[in-house]
C-alpha cells in the first residue's frame, strides 16, 4: 500500500511542479492526436457524406469496409505504418520513422474509420424532410451539406470525440512508429507504459493520470460548451 501512496504522492508532486518531461509529453500527445483528428475529419466528412447521400456502385461494400476497419488493432496499424515508413519500405526515403509525423499518419488511419462510420450513421438516419426542405428552399450543394452536418451535430460531435479519445489514448502506433524518444516522440501513453516498465512508477502514474484527465476531460469540456445537447437529451 505504501508503494501506491508513495507513487501517487510523487506523481502529484511531479505534475504540480510542472515537470518539463511531463508537460512536454502532454502537449505532444495533444498536438499529435488533434492533428490526426483534424486530418481524419477533413478526409472523412466528404466520404461519409458521399456514402450517406449518394448512390454508387460498391457503396455498400465501402461502408462495410469502413465499419470493419473500426476493429483494426492499433498494433496492426503500427505494424503497417512501420512497414511503409521503415528505411527499406516504400515511403522510406521520406525518413519519417520515429517522428511525430509518423504517429500523426498512423493515428489518422485509426481515426478515419471512426469519423466515417459514425458520421455516416448520423447522416444516414437524418429525417428525409431535411434534404427536401433544404432543396425546395433553393439551397446549393455546400449549404445543404452544412445543413445536414448541423442537423446531425450530436452524432458528428460524438464521432469527433470518439476519434480524439481513441487517438490520444492509443499505444500501439505511438510505440511502433514513434519509438518513445525523449523530447521528440514521447507521448503520455508510451511514457506511461515504458517508464513503469523501467521501474519509474511515479512518473508512469503521473503520465497515466494526465492521459486519463485529457481523454475524459475533452468529453466533459464539450458537454459544458455544447448548449444544444441539453435540449436534445
Near other proteins by CB under 8 A: residue from 72, 137, 212, 221: 137
Three cell numbers written together for 122 = 448520423
Contacts of 229 (CB under 8 A, 6+ apart): 154, 157, 223
The least distance separating other proteins from the CB of residue 119, rounded to whole angstroms, comes to: 17
Residue 61 near other proteins by CB under 8 A: no
Q: Would you call 201 exposed, middle or buried from its count of C-beta atoms within 10 A (0-12, 13-18, 19+)?
A: middle
Binding residue (CB under 8 A) for other proteins from 9, 13, 135, 184 = 135
| Contact call for residues 10 and 202 (beta carbons, < 8 A) | yes
The sign of the dihedral angle between the CA atoms of 119, 124, 130, 131 is: positive
**Residue 129 binding other proteins, by CB under 8 A:** yes
Q: What angle do CA 137, 142, 146 make, to 5 degrees?
A: 85
Cα 53 from Cα 71, distance rounded (Å)? 25
Output DSSP code: residue 127: -
d(CA 28, CA 155): 28
Q: Is 132 in the site for other proteins (CB under 8 A)?
A: yes
Q: How far is the CB of 49 from other proteins (least distance, A)?
A: 17
Minimum CB separation of residue 89 from other proteins in Å reads 47
Binding to other proteins by residue 145, rule CB under 8 A?
no
Cβ-based neighbours of 225, under 8 Å, separated by 6 or more: none
**Interface with other proteins includes 125 (CB under 8 A)?**
no
Query: Which one of 31-39, 81-89, 123-131, 177-185 is the stretch in contact with other proteins (CB under 8 A)?
Result: 123-131
Which of 130, 193, 194, 213 is close enough to bind other proteins by CB under 8 A? Answer: 130
Query: Per CB under 8 A, which region of 54-62, 76-84, 113-121, 150-158 contacts other proteins?
Result: 150-158
Among 6, 95, 183, 228, interactor with other proteins by CB under 8 A: 228
Which residues lie near other proteins (CB under 8 A)? 127, 129-130, 132-140, 143, 147, 150-151, 153, 228, 231
Amino acid at each position: 500500500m505504501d508503494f501506491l501512496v508513495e507513487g501517487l504522492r510523487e506523481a502529484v508532486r511531479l505534475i504540480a511542479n510542472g515537470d518539463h518531461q511531463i508537460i512536454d509529453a502532454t502537449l505532444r500527445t495533444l498536438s499529435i492526436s488533434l492533428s490526426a483528428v483534424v486530418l481524419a475529419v477533413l478526409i472523412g466528412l466528404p466520404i461519409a457524406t458521399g456514402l450517406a447521400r449518394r448512390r454508387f456502385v460498391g457503396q455498400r461494400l465501402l461502408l462495410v469496409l469502413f465499419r470493419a476497419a473500426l476493429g483494426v488493432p492499433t498494433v496492426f496499424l503500427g505494424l503497417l505504418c512501420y512497414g511503409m515508413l521503415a528505411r527499406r519500405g516504400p515511403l522510406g526515403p521520406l525518413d519519417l520513422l520515429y517522428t511525430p509525423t509518423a504517429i500523426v499518419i498512423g493515428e489518422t488511419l485509426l481515426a478515419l474509420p471512426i469519423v466515417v462510420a459514425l458520421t455516416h450513421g448520423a447522416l444516414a438516419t437524418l429525417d428525409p424532410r431535411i434534404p427536401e426542405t433544404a432543396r425546395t428552399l433553393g439551397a446549393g450543394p455546400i449549404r445543404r451539406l452544412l445543413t445536414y452536418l448541423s442537423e446531425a451535430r450530436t452524432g458528428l460531435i460524438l464521432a469527433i470525440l470518439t476519434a480524439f479519445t481513441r487517438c490520444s489514448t492509443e499505444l500501439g502506433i505511438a510505440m511502433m512508429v514513434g519509438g518513445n524518444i525523449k523530447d521528440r516522440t514521447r507521448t503520455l501513453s508510451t511514457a506511461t507504459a515504458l517508464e513503469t516498465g523501467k521501474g519509474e512508477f511515479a512518473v508512469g502514474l503521473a503520465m497515466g493520470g494526465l492521459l486519463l484527465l485529457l481523454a475524459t476531460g475533452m468529453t466533459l469540456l464539450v458537454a459544458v460548451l455544447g448548449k444544444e445537447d441539453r435540449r436534445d437529451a
